[in-house]
Amino acid sequence: MNENSVSDQIDLINTAPNQKKHTKSYFSIILLLIFGFGALFFINIKGLQDKSVEQDALLKEGKFLETQIVPTPIPFIELTVPYLREKKYDSKLGELNSAYVGSNYNAYITNYTSDGLTVNGLLTRPIGETPEGGFKAIIFIHGYLPPESYQTSGVAYSDYVDYLARSGFVVFKIDLRGHGNSEGEPGGGYYGSDYVSDILHAYSALQNSDFVNPTSIGLWGHSMGGNAVMRSMAARPEIPASVIWAGAVYTYVDMQKYGISDSSYQPPINNTERQNRRRELFEKHGSPSAQSVFWKQVAPVNYLTDFKGKVSLHHAVDDNVVNIGYSRDLSELLENVSVPYELYEYSSGGHNISGSSFVLAMQRTVEFFNKNL
């Protein structure tokens, strides 16, 4: 054995303890990393649990976190007014395709996007140069019609649209999702927020157009559309003016009082997404109640003090579909919080306020919009 070999073996013997020390150090580092990640995981879980507890406490107090626009443990939060206020609405009109020519306006079929869905509508535009700042505009929200038979340019509401269009307004009669050729499923007007989203995306689309005054856009709604109008105003209190004909369901208590007698209503079959969601909604939050913290944040009347716009209500006493009590009760609530409003009752005209009452109601509607837009 030469000198170098002995020396090499001595070096190996001397370095062996160091290797063991390094091995121990590696194990220590690994253990520290494991414990460290474990602690971070525990802290994260604990934070989520605390967040959930905090959200539950806020729900009981009638409040929501600003960050709850993202998915949260609170089911069906998207129905609530606080959520709708935080939601972003940004859309633009699609191509304007000529539909027909009115007495002093052109009518087009167009579309816009709402929650990723393509929603169609009939848009009228006065003939002539666009005034400085743009035309005054009305978003027209239809009431309940069987979705499968609904038509964008159908007879239903054609006289209403024509009257408003001849009066110099841009009229955008939107086909709520699931109606006609609009994408999506018709979710119903009273236990969902889809229609409100369609309205507010349409509002954005008109604001982004080059021929509408972005500060002079009002809402017109009939029957079920009246509920959607009020919820839209609760979500966007800056909307300057809204007209409701024969509107229904503002507090849910009024629905229990008056009900709705619509022979044309066709309930969805039991296995539809709409029915399943409604069943789950009632399982999570119970039936609508004036005492329920959750349902208080769905009903628009609990946000009337924020309204900056004005409201015009029209209802026929002989309405055999939607009881006039809905409008009378709403007018009392508006009176109590000093929201500028007007209530017109008609002795005849039925649910659509037709016949001789139609012309008078339309004259008052046009006057209201001209004054407040």
Other CB atoms within a 10 A radius of the CB of residue 165 amount to 25
What six digits make up the tokens of 146?
């069987």
* Lowest-confidence segment of 142-156, 219-233, 334-348 by average pLDDT: 142-156
Percent of the chain with pLDDT over 70: 78
Domain at 81-372: CATH code: 3.40.50.1820
Q: Which residues contact 188 (CB under 8 A, 6 or more apart)?
A: 274, 278
DSSP per position, 196-211: HHHHHHHHHHHHTSSS
Mind listing the pLDDT tens digit for each residue in 265-274? 666 666 677 7
3-state SS of 59-92 is: HHHCCCCHHHHCCCCCCCHHHCHHHHHHCCCCCC
H helix runs in the chain, sequence order: 3-61, 81-86, 158-166, 194-207, 224-235, 253-258, 273-285, 293-296, 325-336, 356-372
pLDDT at 267: 65
Q: How confident is the model at residue 5 (pLDDT cuts 50, 70, 90)?
A: very low
Q: Which pTM was predicted?
A: 0.80
DSSP per position, 110-124: EEEEETTEEEEEEEE
Mind listing the pLDDT tens digit for each residue in 191-232? 989 999 999 999 999 999 999 999 999 999 999 999 999 999
Residue 144 has pLDDT above 70, yes or no: yes
∠ CA(169), CA(175), CA(181), 5° rounding? 135
Q: How far is CA 306 from CA 8, 81, 208, 235, in A?
A: 88, 12, 25, 10
Mind listing the pLDDT tens digit for each residue in 292-321? 999 999 999 999 999 999 999 999 999 999
